Amino acid sequence: MRRALPAMLALLAAACSNAADGNATPLPSNNEVSMQDAQSVARQIGVTFPAGATVEHAGQIEGRDNAAQAILLMPKADWAAWRATLVPGNAPPFSADANFHLGPDDGNWTPGKTPDLTTVQVPWREGNESLNIGYAPTSGGKVRVFLFWHQL
C-alpha cells in the first residue's frame, strides 16, 4: 500500500494540473450555452458544428495543456456526414472500451451516464492534439455527440 500512495498522488496531481496551472472556465449548464460559447469551443477544437446541431454543453479549460468539451445533439444524417470529416479511415472503431478518453462526469458533462455511448480517439492537427469523439443514439432519430479535445 505504501508504494501505491505515491502513484495515486501523482495521478491526482496530474488530473488537477489544468485547473491549478491556469484558469478553468466554469462549464455552463444546458440552458446557459450561448452561441458565443459554442463558437469559441468550435474554433479552439478546429471544427465547424453542423447547422442542424443543438449545442447542449460547451466549455474550455486553459492551463498547461488547453482542453475543450462540447456536447451536441443532431440528426443521424448530420452525424454520419460530420463524422466522415472528423474520423480518418484508418482510425480504430468506436468502442465503449474507449469511453474513458472522455474523462469523468462533471456537471453537465455526463459521458458516464450516457447509455450506448461509444468513443474513439483520433490524432488532431498533425498529432499535436487529440480529439476524443463519443456518440450515442437518442430517441427521434438523433445522436448525442461528445467532443473532448486537448493539447498533448
Task: Say if residue 151 is exposed, middle or buried (CB neighbours under 10 Å; 0-12, 13-18, 19+).
Answer: middle
* pLDDT value at residue 63: 83
Give the model's pLDDT for residue 17: 37
**pLDDT score for 34:** 82
CA distance 123 to 140: 32
* pTM as predicted: 0.79
Grid cell in block for residue 4: 501505491
Q: Give the pLDDT confidence score for residue 32 in this predicted structure.
A: 55
How far apart CA 149 and CA 147 sit, in angstroms, is 6
Q: Point out the residues of the chain with pLDDT beneath 70.
A: 1-32
- The pLDDT value recorded for residue 35 is 84
Secondary structure E strands in the chain: 54-61, 67-75, 118-124, 129-137, 142-151
